[in-house]
Each structure stands twice: as structure tokens, then as C-alpha cells.
Structure 1
Amino acid sequence: MPVDTTVRPANGPVQRADRALAPDLTRGAMLLIIALANAAGVAFAGEPGLPSDPQGAERGLTFLLFELAHARGYPVFAFMFGYGMVQLARRQDTLGSSPRQVRALLLRRGFWLTVLGFAHAALLYYGDFLGAYGIVCVAVTLTLLRRGDRFHRIVLVIWALSLLELLVLGGIVVHRVLTGSGDAPLPVGHVDSLATASYADSIAARLAEWPAHTLSTLPFVVIAWLGMWAARRRVLERPGAHRTLLVRTAVAGIGIALVGALPAALVGAGWLGVDASTARLALLLHGGSGMFAGPGYVAVFGLLAARVTRPDGPVVRGLAALGRRSLSGYLFQSVAWLVLLLPFTLDLAGRGAGAPTAVVVLVAAGVWLASVLIALRLDARDRPGPAETVLRRLTYGAAARRRRRSHGRAA
């Protein structure tokens, strides 16, 4: 029998009418958490961002940042990245793309994400995740994407083992806190590129920092894999049908993240004294528990999406509009930190009158709100974000341009 060997072009990007609300709502809201964590890191030139001697209200704000923001935002986007990969592949399958075409499409996407990540780190911000997303995209496409349900259940075992390890570490930290004492600070890593005297010096420092930072973030593939597992069950497309799973995940994920962050949050705020060894373990516990915030936060917004009765309401519409343009929103934040917070630019946190952490929080919230308003303006004109436009053109090529032209004629 004859075999059709025609190579069909990959179909274009997903259209607005085809998108589920929960993923966009999650991305839009969680960019506020990303803003708070990254703004603090930039202002205090550390990872995580921590004032050296918090006093008064700064202590409470530092405590909340460690509980809710530091190492709690990126796991959400790692989860959503894995979820989105399955959605993209499924849509391409439905529209008739061959497995080879889908694989090529995802590999192109991964390559260009890595390139954009390098440019982002060189020009704007050392703490780039796009490069890691690109590398993970390539690795997952080659090793995980087309596996069966039985294979994907391995990720649940990995998460269970991670929780067991976390419980052991938590027990050690609690024991040391109860039996020891001291006044050691958290061993926050200093970031050279955030403390340079000029933009040129910051570029040189970021180019040196980016490879190590990217390699350190690659283990989030385990979080992305859990997102893939959830996407295969369409958990966020049908949140009402998965309410029990979402409730349990929200309670467990956020509960583990809050409890695991507690020792580091208390030490960072100056409310708990420990020795240097215990401080290191507390920070390790903080980071390890943060991965559970990813599915926890996602589950919360999945439950909220299931209860939304007015998707055109201003809050939901604004969050979803930013969520559809989350890449642009993320890069917009990096531009803002460069202009507003670095020592050789406006350095707004440095001029905070007695409460720089409060200034950082206000700047972060203001930048995020500005990104929401910009996204709403773009949404009213039915235009994607600029970064999404670039990535789609690089990934889809001519197919995306044809899709936009036909969409314009239909309108």
C-alpha cells in the first residue's frame, strides 16, 4: 500500500479560545511571588534575598518572604512547564502532526529557550531559569514525553522518597534547635553581579554566574515531570472532576512548604538563634520543602478556577491575561530590577528610610501590578506578549505567521 511521506508543517501555537483558565490564572498570580523573591535577591545581592540585620517590621516581612516566596515560586513554573509540554504535544497530535514533527517542534522550542536564557542572563539578570527550561525541554522530549502511564508513575515514587528525606532532615533540624543555641546567620550566597558598580561589570559577572546557576536548577526536572503526570490526566483542564486530588495536594503541598520553611524563616527574621551547622541545615530544609509548594500552589489555583463564575471579572481577567504572557511578564520584571534596584541605577531599596525590605516589597508589588495592566491592554487588542511572539516565531516559523494572518482575516 502507498505510504504518505509528505512532511507537513507543524501547526501554530494554541489560540486563546482553546486555553484552560487554571494554568493561566496560576502563572499570572504566581508572578507576584516571583517578583517578591527576585526583588529581594537583587536588593540584598543574595540568594535568597535577606537583610543582614532586620529590625522591627523588617523581621515580619523577612519571615513572610521565607515562608511564602523564597524558593516557592519557581517550583510552580517548573510544574507548569512540564504540564504545558504535554498540552502542546497533545494539541499537535490532535491537529495531525506526526510524532517526528512534534518532537522536532519541542526540540526547537528547547533550543531557543536556552538561547533566550543566555541572552536574558547576559543582559539583565543572573538568576535565569529559561536556559534550564530549554535544557529540560530537550531532555524530557527525548526521554519522557512518549512514555506510558506506568512509567510516569515513577515520578510519584520519587516524590514520596523526597518527602521521606525531607522528614528525616526536618527531624534533625528540630532536634538541633531544641538542644542547641547560637547566633549564626543563614548562609546566604552572595551574588557578585548584583553588587557591581557598572552595567559592563554586571554583564561580565553574570556571564560567569549563569552556567553554574543553570546547572544548579536542572534538578527541577522532577517537578516538571510531576506536571507532566498531572497533564496526562487533564487535572487543570477539568479541575472540578479532580477536586479531591486538588484539595489534598493543596493542603499537603503548602503545609509541607510552610512547616519546612519555618526554621529558616525564624532564623532569617532574627527570632531564633542557632549555630552555623544548624543554620545550614535549616536553609537546606527550606529549599527542599519549597518544591512541594509548586504542586500546592497550582492546586489552590486549580480549585479557584473551578469556582470562577465570571471569567471576565477584572481580577480573573487581569491574572489570566498576564498568565497568557508570563514569559513577557517575567522578562519585564528583570528589566525593572535592572532599572530600579541595582547600585548603578536608581537603587530604590538603598534609599529606603529605615525599612528597605518594605521598599523592596512595594517595588515588587508595583512592578507586578504594572505587568498586569500592560497585559490587560494587550489582551484588549488580542495581542500576545512580545517575548511570546518572538518564541513562537522561532519555534513555529512560517506556520505561526500563516495562523495569525488567517486569524486576522476571520476577524
Structure 2
Amino acid sequence: MSTDTASRTSRGPVLRTERALAPDLARGAMLLIIALANVAGVVFAGEPGLDATPEGVDRGLNLLLFDLVHARGYPVFAVMFGYGLVQLARRQDASGATPQQVRSVLLRRNLWLVVFGFAHAALLYYGDFLGAYGIVGIAMTLLLLRRGDRVHRIALVLWALAAVEVLALGVIVVITILGGTGGSAPLPSTHVDSLAATDYVAAMLDRLGEWPTHTLTVLPFVMIAWLGMWAARRRVLEEPARHRTLLTWTAILGLGMAIVGGLPAALLSAGWLHVDESTAGLTLLLHGASGMFAGPGYVAVFGLIALRATRSGPVVGALSALGQRSLSGYLMQSVAWLVLLAPFMLALGDRFGSPTVTGLVIAVAVWLATVLIARQLDRRGRPGPAEFVLRRLAYPPRA
């Protein structure tokens, strides 16, 4: 999640440093992708969120969601999580903290993220990522943080192997589609009981059962977070001008693979491709595997935007303010889904015609509300409420 605006060491003083624009901009914009992805799942009580019988404009919206959003938001989160871990450690190092003190702070912070994740899942939303982030953060702090370049280059090898796997899977999917006899199988989807529950207590009990399984399924994103750690060690986003070529090619190749790899599932979700059940499963597998490349792809785009933007601009300033308070922004979205969309609350998803359109409008509106709130907090020099609590828990009290 967001790095701290002020790092406190165990010896007490608060260190304030000038923040690079690109990481904060990426985190702020990333929350829009997260909102669009999550709201669809909440509206349709499934994963991925999908109108199984789209008509009219919903067909195009399904295609765009599957090609640009679904399984493409959390990789951005993961890249920025790994990046932020190195940023936090670097700020602690600059303040004079010892390696042992830095490790202690990061371990406490990630342990509390696990606690935050459990509370988030129990009270608000089953699809929590904070718990998994905390577990991965602990592992990365202990095993990777102080390693040399030779170890961190392993991440690049793993990504190269993943690219080969996606390309091979893509060829198999294309051959299967071209050689198939058609069909009418829908995209596989998993029903989420907590999102369809008719009262809060039942939803909470369902979430308590769903959260551990969901957390285990997303733990493999450690490979994505590791790439973020590699990039942070080279200050790719702090110094985007020096890494313009790398950012450009990462944006082109990363988003290119995500978009092309997601296209078969996107066409199927829109009702413009008809395949049998086994082929539908393969398209969804390709969709998920290619989605991880959207993480570095989107982040690279934000880095390139930061080259031409200034924090003093109203739009960029507001987005970067939200980026500094991304944990609060993320949790505020879950509160909004519960109040606005839960069947036992306002249940707005089914009240205005197309649930897909309604969900997307709500997602954008909620995200814009968090942008405006973050901007006001930034003008007053205040952190987000979740960042304030996490900082008080993670950092030792001032002497």
C-alpha cells in the first residue's frame, strides 16, 4: 500500500523527505482499476464479476472490463507493494536506523497488515488483499530485502519464463478456437456466498470462511511484488527520465500481452465468441495468466505520465494525494460496496436497469469521492485514517 509521508525511527525524530511523483500517481490511479474490478464482482456476486447474458452496451462493457480491468488491477497493486517495501526500508536507512531496526519496523507493519486484512474481510469484503500482502511482505523482508542484485535478477528470469508460458498458452487457445466446432459455454465463474447473503451476520460468517481460501489463492503474487522490489532498487519511478526507454517498452509489452491475452475471454464475455466448455476454461486461464503483465504495464504508463506532470497541477495533485493514502482509499471502497450494493443495505445494483452500468457509475463516483477526500486531507497536512493507525502500530513510540 502507500508509503508513509513521514518515517519515524525508533530513536524518535520524524524524517520528512520530498516524495517522487510517479509512485504516488500510480497508487492513486490504481485504485480506480481496483474499484472497477471489485464493483462488478459485488454487483453479480461472483468472481469474476460478469453479466452472463449481456445485451446492447453491456456487451462492449464486458469486453472492456475483461480486457483492461479484471485480473489486471491486483497486479498493479502487487508491483507497487513490492516497490513500497523498498521505499520504506530506504527511508528508514536514511534516518539512521540500523538494519535490525528497519527489519523490525517492516515486520511489525506487515504483521499488522495481516490483522487489517482479517478485520477488512470479516467486517466488509471477502476479496481482501491486505492479509496476503502482509504475509508476502514478511517473507520478502526476511528473505529478499537485503539480497544483492544477483538474487533479484531471478525475478526477471521468472518473468521471462512466465512470458513464454503465456505465449505458449495463447497459441494453444488460438488453435483450439480455430479448430473447434463452436458451442455455447459461458466463461467459468465462481459464486460468492457472502456477496449474495441477505443479512449482515450471514455475510460476515460467509466471509470468515472465504477469506482464508482467497488469501491462499493470491499468495503467488509474490513474483509480481518481487518485480516491484527490483524496480525500486533501481529507482525506476523516482527517476523516470533516466528510465524512459525501460518504461516505454514495459508499457508496450506489458499492456500488449495483457490486452491480447485477455481478448478471447473478453470476446466470450461479450457474447461475440462461442466455444465449448473446455475452450472457455482455457480462455479464462489465459486471461488470468496474461493479466499479471498489466501490472508493470500500467505502472510504466503512470511513470511516463509523471515525466510530463507536476504535483502542483490540480488533477495530478489530487491523484498523488490519494496515492499517499491508498490504504484508506482501498478500505473506503469496501465500505461503499457494503452500504450501496449489499442486498441487505441499499442494493442499488438492481434498481437502475443495467447492473453493469450502475456498478461502473458507482465505482467511478466512489473513487472520485476518495480522490476529493484525500485532496482535502493533503491540504491540511493529515494522513489518511488507516495510514495514521497503521503508522502508530508499526512504528515504536517516540522517545
Q: TM-score range by the shorter chain?
A: over 0.9
Distance 2:315 2:118 in 1: 34
Superposed structure 1 runs of 4+ greater than 2 Å apart: 10-15
CA contact (8 A) 2:67 2:266 kept: yes
Render the CA deviation track for 1:200-250: whole Å, top value 9, x for unaligned: 000000000000000000000000000010011000000000000000000
Render the CA deviation track for 1:366-410: whole Å, top value 9, x for unaligned: 0000111111111111110000001100101314xx7xxxxxxxx
SS in 2 for 1:328: helix
Gaps of 5+ in 2: 1-8
CA contact (8 A) 1:78 1:223 kept: yes
Residue in 2 that maps onto 1:380: 379
CA contact (8 A) 2:194 2:206 kept: yes
CA contact (8 A) 2:321 2:378 kept: yes
Whether 1:269 aligns to 2:270 is: yes
Residue in 2 that maps onto 1:393: 392
SS in 2 for 1:343: coil
Aligned-residue offset at 1:18: 2.3
Render the CA deviation track for 1:175-218: whole Å, top value 9, x for unaligned: 11111111100001111100001000000000000000000000
Residue in 2 that maps onto 1:90: 90
Amino acid at match of 2:362: V
Distance 1:373 1:240 in 2: 29
Amino acid at match of 1:290: G
Residue in 2 that maps onto 1:184: 185
Whether 1:297 aligns to 2:298 is: yes
Q: State the superposition RMSD in angstroms.
A: 1.2
CA contact (8 A) 1:257 1:289 kept: yes
Amino acid at match of 1:225: W
CA contact (8 A) 2:41 2:50 kept: yes
Residue in 1 that maps onto 2:229: 228
Q: How high is the TM-score relative to the length of structure 2?
A: 0.96
Residue in 2 that maps onto 1:258: 259
Query: Which shows bigger deviation, 120-129 or 64-73?
Result: 64-73
Residue in 2 that maps onto 1:242: 243
Render the CA deviation track for 1:137-180: whole Å, top value 9, x for unaligned: 11111111111001100000000000111111111111111111
- Aligned in 2, Cα 1:9/1:43: closer, same or farther, shift over 3 Å? same
Matches within 5 A, 1:30-69: 30-69=30-69
Aligned-residue offset at 1:74: 0.8
Distance 1:381 1:168 in 2: 52
Whether 1:162 aligns to 2:166 is: no
Amino acid at match of 1:76: V
Amino acid at match of 1:9: S
Residue in 2 that maps onto 1:329: 329
Amino acid at match of 1:366: A
Residue in 2 that maps onto 1:407: none
Distance 1:289 1:195 in 2: 29
Aligned-residue offset at 1:14: 6.2
SS in 2 for 1:174: helix
Residue in 1 that maps onto 2:202: 201
CA contact (8 A) 1:239 1:306 kept: yes
Q: How high is the TM-score relative to the length of structure 1?
A: 0.93
Amino acid at match of 2:335: V
SS in 1 for 2:242: helix
Residue in 2 that maps onto 1:25: 25
Count of aligned pairs: 390
Distance 2:390 2:212 in 1: 22
Aligned-residue offset at 1:95: 1.5
Aligned-residue offset at 1:365: 0.4
Render the CA deviation track for 1:245-288: whole Å, top value 9, x for unaligned: 00000000000000010000000111100111011111111111
CA contact (8 A) 2:15 2:95 kept: no
Aligned-residue offset at 1:93: 1.4
Amino acid at match of 1:288: A
Aligned-residue offset at 1:10: 5.7
Residue in 2 that maps onto 1:286: 287
Residue in 1 that maps onto 2:73: 73
Residue in 2 that maps onto 1:173: 173
Gaps of 5+ in 1: 1-7, 403-411
Aligned-residue offset at 1:352: 2.2
Distance 2:179 2:113 in 1: 48
SS in 1 for 2:342: coil
Residue in 2 that maps onto 1:409: none
Distance 2:78 2:296 in 1: 10
Distance 1:112 1:259 in 2: 38
Residue in 1 that maps onto 2:4: none
Distance 2:375 2:134 in 1: 28
SS in 2 for 1:241: coil
Residue in 2 that maps onto 1:343: 343
Amino acid at match of 1:214: T
Aligned-residue offset at 1:13: 7.0
Amino acid at match of 1:351: R
Distance 1:123 1:115 in 2: 12
Amino acid at match of 1:392: R
SS in 2 for 1:49: coil
- Aligned in 2, Cα 1:374/1:172: closer, same or farther, shift over 3 Å? same
Amino acid at match of 2:369: A
Aligned-residue offset at 1:12: 6.7
Residue in 2 that maps onto 1:3: none
CA contact (8 A) 1:194 1:202 kept: yes
